[in-house]
Amino acid sequence: MTSATQTLILRDPRLIYRFDAVLSLTMGIALLALASPLASLIGWAPMHTVLLGAGLFLFPWALSNWTLGAAIGPDRFSLAANLLGDGLWVLLSVFLLVLYSAQMTAIGVTFIAAQALAVSVVFAIKLAGFKTLPA
């Protein structure tokens, strides 16, 4: 992690939660609106249902992130639960790739891998901020 990123985290560790909230809301809207064409591009038949489910999940996830980002002193349990959610998202994405990438197009594999990588970066930034909190 760069020193600029570390400085930003230390200056306002809640910023990443607000950023994640905006990204999650945007992605949720996009997944719901574009589930059919994205599923066709990805090439795996059940992906339409997966995209709709993920899109619906991202609305309360965005609200949760926004709430954490707006809180004066969010408790460690809420932050740890949020980290767990990000970690599970990445693991489920990798699970999809391991089990079904042979049935996906190259665009589909790239899409799943790219969003998993993006969530991994957000997870790493949140984890760095979490580690700075007193126990």
- Interval 38-72: pLDDT, tens: 999 999 989 999 999 999 999 999 999 999 999 88
- The one-letter amino acid code at 85 reads G
In terms of DSSP H, where are the helices of the chain?
3-11, 15-33, 35-42, 47-70, 76-100, 106-131
Give the three-state DSSP class for 45.
Answer: coil
Chain segment 68-123, per-residue pLDDT in tens: 999 887 889 999 999 999 999 999 999 999 999 999 999 999 999 999 999 999 99
The pLDDT-based confidence of 11 (bands split at 50, 70, 90) is low
C-alpha to C-alpha distance for 115 and 135, rounded to whole angstroms: 31
Dist. CA 64–CA 102, nearest whole Å: 34
Q: What is the pTM of this model?
A: 0.89
Distance CA 134, CA 97 (A): 37
Two structure tokens written together for 35: 């589930």
